[in-house]
Amino acid sequence: MGDLLQPWHLIVLAVVAFLLFGAKRLPELGKGLGEGLKGFKEGIRGISDPPPPPPPPPPTATPTEPK
């Protein structure tokens, strides 16, 4: 099972992907995959981090009466 990602295996996978999707479509698929992974990482990070504290309420000014 440790020999799963041999260089020849990766080359064969690349050739199969090239034949299935073509040269024009591969960059689009890579971009979509990268954006999906980025969103997944941000989602996981959001779950593991504690939520930020709520911002303090803005100071309220009390109106003064004219003399």
Higher per-residue pLDDT: 4 or 23: 23
Distance in angstroms (rounded) separating the CA atoms of residues 35 and 28: 11
pLDDT value at residue 49: 66
pLDDT value at residue 63: 67
List the helix and strand counts (H, then E) for the chain: 1, 0
* Residue 6 DSSP label: -
Tell me the per-residue pLDDT of 34-64, one tens digit each, with 9 for 90 and over. Answer: 999 999 988 887 776 676 788 888 877 676 7
pTM: 0.47
The full 3-state SS of 26-51, as one line of letters, equals HHHHHHHHHHHHHHHHHHHHHHHCCC
Average pLDDT estimate for 2-9: 79
Residue labelled with tokens 């020999």: 3
